[in-house]
């Protein structure tokens, strides 16, 4: 062990006596199964489960000591869970969805794909960031008290356990059950002669021409392996000399991940599978290639081949202050992203030691970064299986309804949005309320209306065939003033957003990229219309992106309003984004990075003061992630004063709930289901005059300090009641959810008699359908 590690370990022991050293090299840990080592790893898992190096007993002792010292206003060390380990716990909840025997079978396969895709991004960004901080010497402890090395070891232990479990769920549960339903995912050697022959023909015509075998020898250096690509490591032998050679064959990413073949041996692409009759057999593309390696290396003997997959650091960093043209700088950075260092190597079980050693050496990865899994690798490809037309194996179809206030009954006649919004504020709840007949139609009407003079819009993520982008282009071509604030740095959508930014510019749209140093994450649309009594501004403020496809699967909220104060707020904010207005003041908006955190802290402290005065007090919050230490500490202090705090969080939660003397008045629930819970709600009792906001901001440093976010205050009494009721149902004991307890997350989906608890998403779909029928 090197001296740097020795120093950091001693520091960790001094700081956390109860936390046994988890900072030894992972390579040594994984190869040592002594009783002491097993105990050490058990403590690593315990720390990973709670996200903290401070055990509950130590935390309780601190709280008791501070309670005895009445003058102490300190909160205990170890009160924060680590954000990276908390995210891993979130993905474990996704995996539990795949394990849920009550879910429709193809949906369980879909959750396997989501788990794998989530983990890919996690390694590309978060794990890569940890490794970068360690390599550059910036390995300072996080708020949880864990050093980056400690966090990395916890991730390694947890991720290997979860990936092994993930593979086992597929191999031992979902795959056999799919076969029972006539959907077989087979290895090459499980196919019959006719199927082999049909796939051989397909290989020669459709696959062989696009393959490029790359030899590795003194004249051919080890090839670059792109991130997330699936590859074959091939060993061939020259029969004349007996010498073995290594080669790499990349599995073409543009070809289908699984190839379907019927009993007659006819292959089908995934989009044509509905034409097949009888049972459907799918074969991983890499196994078809592996079975035909002799055609790629004629005259050579194929000794072995193994599949492997590399995950690289693919986070993008652009120094905006030094970039004359942000688009150009980002495009260059996207090219560099392809060459980021490897952070994970997945290999199929059975790979030979000498091939694995070669891969590790050439890719510069340690044993701790190697994940041995049963084939097939890359189960993100199960999306292809999920897309099969087998409705009996999926969630029952749900058709979104038109929102309250936009149509009393479902009708083919378009609503006059301007008249409807003048009449009342309209609260939208997607996907229960249709995005297409609300937000999308609102912008389309604005683009076509001759009275509309200007449209201003933020675009963070949008789809490739976006109707909203088309509407903005139409509006510009009709001579309207159109402004698009395009966030081209939206992670992993950068290339698409560059393309759309240029398309908008070519149509005459004024495209700007927000404020230097800040991502524009707020979801805003402002329409300026000339009416008989003067100009009127129509606004949409939302919690989700203007993305017509994800709007069908993401749970989000939005407000359509022509309120004068909101119109002034959006005008000022758009001026701030497109020009120079750093000191803008707002009526109904809280805007990060200046006023979201202070505004929320002020309201939390008001609830504490009201509680002290004997007034009614409570706090209810729904977010995707809760990490910000200042806000968490404020919630802890509210809990200590007896203020009930109810939190619904989908993903990361750095708050430790249910700890006596600290957070016994805080309940934290997490809901996962067919729709991705994405909306943000902040509700405060305010002595009965309820104070409620919705908006784009999660409670994370990046949202509160490095992004432009907007929360809007809801003022309609009926809408306030509706949002509070939504929070109450989500955190109710009778609702199926995951509960954050002192020692980690626990799923609670049945009552004491074994009856299923309420599924809030099913309830909301049922209520939406009933509204249409009534």
Catalytic residues: 521
DSSP character at residue 361: H
DSSP state of 324: S
What CA–CA distance (Å, rounded) separates 501 from 513?
9
CA–CA gap between residue 355 and residue 305 (Å, rounded): 9
Q: Would the CA dihedral through 87, 90, 94, 95 be positive or negative? A: positive
Query: What own/partner pairs with CB < 8 Å and gap ≥ 24 does 732-735 have?
Result: 732/758, 734/758, 735/669, 735/671, 735/759, 735/760
Q: Which two tokens stand for residue 438?
A: 């609300």
Rounded CA gap, 31 and 676, in Å?
A: 39
Q: Which residues contact 404 (CB under 8 A, 6 or more apart)?
A: 426, 427, 433, 771
**Distance (Å) of CA 14 to CA 10, 51, 58, 85:** 6, 19, 14, 22
Place of tokens 């008290």: 145
Provide CB contacts within 8 A for 448, sequence distance 6+: 474, 478
Phi, psi for residue 699 in degrees, rounded to 5: -95, 70
Distance CA 536, CA 541 (A): 16
User: Whole-angstrom distance between the N-terminal and C-terminal Cα of the chain?
Assistant: 71
Task: State the Cα–Cα distance between residues 272 and 60, nearest whole angstrom.
Answer: 61
Structural tokens at position 491: 């992670």
- Tell me the three state secondary structure of residue 640: helix
Q: What are 650's two structure tokens?
A: 């989908």
Who's near 212: CB < 8 A, 6+ residues apart?
249, 250
d(CA 434, CA 411): 13
* Beta strands at 691-695 and 213-216: parallel, antiparallel or unpaired: unpaired
């Amino acid at each position: 062990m090197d001296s740097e590690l020795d120093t950091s370990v001693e520091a960790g022991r001094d700081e956390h006596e109860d936390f046994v050293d988890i900072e030894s090299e992972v390579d040594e840990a994984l190869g040592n199964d002594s009783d002491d080592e097993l105990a050490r790893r058990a403590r690593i898992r315990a720390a990973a489960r709670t996200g903290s190096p401070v055990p509950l007993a130590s935390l309780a002792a601190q709280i008791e000591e501070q309670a005895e010292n009445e003058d102490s206003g300190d909160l205990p060390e170890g009160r924060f869970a680590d954000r990276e380990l908390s995210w891993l716990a979130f993905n474990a909840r996704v995996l539990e969805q795949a394990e849920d025997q009550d879910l429709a079978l193809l949906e369980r396969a879909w959750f396997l794909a989501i788990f794998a895709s989530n983990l890919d991004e996690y390694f590309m960004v978060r794990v890569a960031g940890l490794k970068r901080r360690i390599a550059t010497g910036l390995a300072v402890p996080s708020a949880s008290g864990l050093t980056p090395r400690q966090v990395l070891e916890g991730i390694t232990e947890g991720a290997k356990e979860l990936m092994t479990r993930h593979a086992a769920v597929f191999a031992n549960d979902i795959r056999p059950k799919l076969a029972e339903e006539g959907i077989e995912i087979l290895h090459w050697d499980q196919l019959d002669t006719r199927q082999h022959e049909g796939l051989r023909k397909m290989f020669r015509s459709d696959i062989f021409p696009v393959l490029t075998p790359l030899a590795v020898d003194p004249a051919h250096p080890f090839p670059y392996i792109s991130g997330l690509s699936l590859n074959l490591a091939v060993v061939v032998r020259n029969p004349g000399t007996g010498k073995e050679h290594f080669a790499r064959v990349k599995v073409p990413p543009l070809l289908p991940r699984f190839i379907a073949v019927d009993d007659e041996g006819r292959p089908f692409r995934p989009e044509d599978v509905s034409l097949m009759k009888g049972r459907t057999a799918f074969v991983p593309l890499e196994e078809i290639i592996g079975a035909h390696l002799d055609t790629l290396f004629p005259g050579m003997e194929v000794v072995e081949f193994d599949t492997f997959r590399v995950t690289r650091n693919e986070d993008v960093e652009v120094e905006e202050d030094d970039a004359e043209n942000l688009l150009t700088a980002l495009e260059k950075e996207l090219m560099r992203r392809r060459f980021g260092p490897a952070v994970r190597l997945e290999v199929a079980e059975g790979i030979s030691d000498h091939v694995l050693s070669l891969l590790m050496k050439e890719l510069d990865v340690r044993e701790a970064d190697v994940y041995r899994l049963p084939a097939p690798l890359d189960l993100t490809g199960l999306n292809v299986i999920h897309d099969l037309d087998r409705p009996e194996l999926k969630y029952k179809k749900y058709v979104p309804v038109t929102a309250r206030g936009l149509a009393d009954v479902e009708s083919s006649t378009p609503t006059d949005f301007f008249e409807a919004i003048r009449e009342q504020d309209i609260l939208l709840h997607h996907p229960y309320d249709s995005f297409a007949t609300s937000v999308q139609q609102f912008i389309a009407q604005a683009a076509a209306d001759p009275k509309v003079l200007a449209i201003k819009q933020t675009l963070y993520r949008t789809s490739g065939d976006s109707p909203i982008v088309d509407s903005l282009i139409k509006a510009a071509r009709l001579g309207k003033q159109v402004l698009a604030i395009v966030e081209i740095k939206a992670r992993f959508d950068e290339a698409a957003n560059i393309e759309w930014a240029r398309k908008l510019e070519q149509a005459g749209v004024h495209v700007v990229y927000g404020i230097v140093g800040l991502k524009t994450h707020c979801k805003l649309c402002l329409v300026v219309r000339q009416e008989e009594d003067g100009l009127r501004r129509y606004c949409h403020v939302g919690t989700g992106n203007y993305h017509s496809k994800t709007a069908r699967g993401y749970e989000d909220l939005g407000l359509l309003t022509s309120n004068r104060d909101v119109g002034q707020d959006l005008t000022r904010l758009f001026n701030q984004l497109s020009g120079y207005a750093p000191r803008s003041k707002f009526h109904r908006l809280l805007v990060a990075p200046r006023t979201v955190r202070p505004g929320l802290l002020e309201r939390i402290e008001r609830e504490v003061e009201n509680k002290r005065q004997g007034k009614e007090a409570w706090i209810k919050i729904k977010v995707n992630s809760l990490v910000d230490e200042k806000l968490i500490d404020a919630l802890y202090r509210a809990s200590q004063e007896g203020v009930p705090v109810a939190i619904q969080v989908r993903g990361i939660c750095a708050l430790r709930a249910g700890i006596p003397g600290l957070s016994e008045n805080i309940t934290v629930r997490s809901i996962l289901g067919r729709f991705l819970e994405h909306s943000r709600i902040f509700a405060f009792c305010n002595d009965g005059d309820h104070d409620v906001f919705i908006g784009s901001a999660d409670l994370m440093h990046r949202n509160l300090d490095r992004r432009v976010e907007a929360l809007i205050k809801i003022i309609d009494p009926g809408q306030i009641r509706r949002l509070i009721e939504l929070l109450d149902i989500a955190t109710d004991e009778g609702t199926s959810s995951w509960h954050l307890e002192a020692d980690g997350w626990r799923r609670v989906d049945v009552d004491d008699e074994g009856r299923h608890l309420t599924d809030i998403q099913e309830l909301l779909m049922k209520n939406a359908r009933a509204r249409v029928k009534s």
